[in-house]
Amino acid sequence: MSPGLLQRCTPGPKLALLALAGTGVSLVQDWWIMLACLAAAAAAFLLSGLGAHAVRQQMRPMLWLLVPLFLAQGLLTSWSLAALVVARIATLVLLAALVTLTTRTEDLIATLERALAPFAPVGMNPAKVGLAFALALRFLPVIAEEAERVREAQAARGLGRNPLAVILPLIVRVLKAAEDVAAAIDARSGATPGAPAPGPSEP
C-alpha cells in the first residue's frame, strides 16, 4: 500500500472492505490473533501515509473507555477475554478512522445514499440516513473534545485519578449533545441530498 493509495480509492470499495473486515474481526475468538489484527490496522495508518501520530490521535480519546473496560472485563471474566474485547474495539475504531480520514465526508455520504436508494420504496429515506451519518461523523470529535475538557476540569479539582469523576460528567454532556443531534435530524428530515448538515451544538 503506497502513500496516497487509499486517498485515491473510491469510497465504495473502501466501505465494502470495512464491512468485510468488521465482520471478520467480530468472528475472531483468539486474543493473540486479535492483537495481530490491531497491529495490522495500525500498520495500515503508517503505510497509507497518515503516520503514527494519527494512530495516537484516534486511540487517545478511547483510553477512557478501553482501560476501565479492560479492568472490569478482566476482573469479572478473564484477562484473555478482556484483551480480546479491547483489541477488537480498538481495531474496529482504527479501521473506521482509516476510511474516514482518507475519504471526503461528502463522498462517503453520497456513496451511502446511492447504496440505500433501492430501499426507498420500502420506507427508508436515504437522505435522512446520510444526514444522520454526517452528524455522527461530526459528533465524534465533539466527544473527544468534551472528554479532554472534563478531564482537565476534574484534574483541577483534584479528581483526575477518579475514573467516575471523569466518566459520569462526560456521559451527561454526551447525552445532551445527542439530544441536539436528534433534534437536528428531526428538523432536517426532509432535507435534500447534498444539503449542508448542521453540526451538534456545544453542550
**For position 130, what pLDDT does the model report?**
72
Helices (H), the chain: 5-8, 11-27, 31-47, 52-59, 63-76, 79-101, 105-116, 126-156, 163-187
**For position 83, what pLDDT does the model report?**
92
| Domain residue extents for the chain | 1-103, 104-203
| Residue 122, C-alpha cell as written in the block | 420500502
**For position 10, what pLDDT does the model report?**
77
Question: Tens digit of pLDDT per residue, the chain (203 long)?
Answer: 445 666 677 777 888 888 888 888 888 889 999 999 999 988 888 888 777 888 888 888 778 778 888 998 888 888 999 999 999 999 988 888 888 888 887 777 888 788 778 888 887 777 777 777 666 666 666 666 677 777 777 777 776 566 666 677 777 777 776 677 667 666 655 544 444 444 444 44
**For position 148, what pLDDT does the model report?**
72
**For position 197, what pLDDT does the model report?**
45
**For position 159, what pLDDT does the model report?**
63
**For position 33, what pLDDT does the model report?**
92
199 by Cβ neighbours in 10 Å (0-12 / 13-18 / 19+) ranks as middle
Q: Which residue has the cell 461528502?
A: 106
Task: For residue 67, give Cα distances in angstroms to 57, 61, 75, 79, 148.
Answer: 16, 11, 12, 12, 16
